Amino acid sequence: MIDLDFNMEINDPIHGFIGITDIEAKIIDSEPYQRLRRIKQLSGGHFVYPTAEHTRFAHCIGVMHVAGLLGQKLLGKLRLGSEVLQDVRIAGLLHDIGHGPFSHVFEEALIEKRGMNHEDVTEWIILQSELGDILTDQGVSKKRIADLVRGRRKY
């Protein structure tokens, strides 16, 4: 079993208490990540379904948790350690960081005007914003995390 040092918990309505490491807490507390509190997971679905209030913020924390559970099982069998598990969790946490308001509707305009999709924006945010500084300061390669999020990295 691969262990990480969890120093706080977030109570998730689906998964219960989710352990959070120091670096994950720093990422969650950052401005780029906090922005996800204002972006609905289901775009404008809450206008038709009033209880569809799910945010990218909560979704990404859940993805981080599930990625960590899967990572513990798979990475342990591959004899990969806690550093790789932490990278997998961070990639799950940041996988939607490039989404804008109204999600994929916004993306159509982004592609038309800038030739970029939300994955391109995600990579840019990881590499160029304070998130990259947080990763670097904690000894984590921002390039490796961007590659994992984009599906370009193999261990």
> How do residues 86-145 score in pLDDT, each as one tens digit?
999 999 999 999 987 776 677 676 677 777 788 888 999 999 999 999 999 999 999 999
Collapse the DSSP code of 38 into the 3-class scheme (helix H, G, I; strand E, B; otherwise coil) and give the result. helix
> How do residues 62-76 score in pLDDT, each as one tens digit?
999 999 999 998 887
Measured between alpha carbons, how far is 60 from 14 in angstroms, rounded to an integer? 13
What are 20's strand-pairing partners?
A: 8
Which pLDDT score, from 0 to 100, does residue 145 have?
97
Residue 15 a catalytic site member: no
For 29, the enclosing helix (H) or strand (E) is: helix 22-29
Active-site residue, selected from the candidate residues 59, 95, 99, 118: 118
When mean pLDDT is compared across 4-8, 40-44, 46-50, 124-128, the lowest value belongs to: 46-50
* Domains observed in the chain: 21-150 (1.10.3210.10)
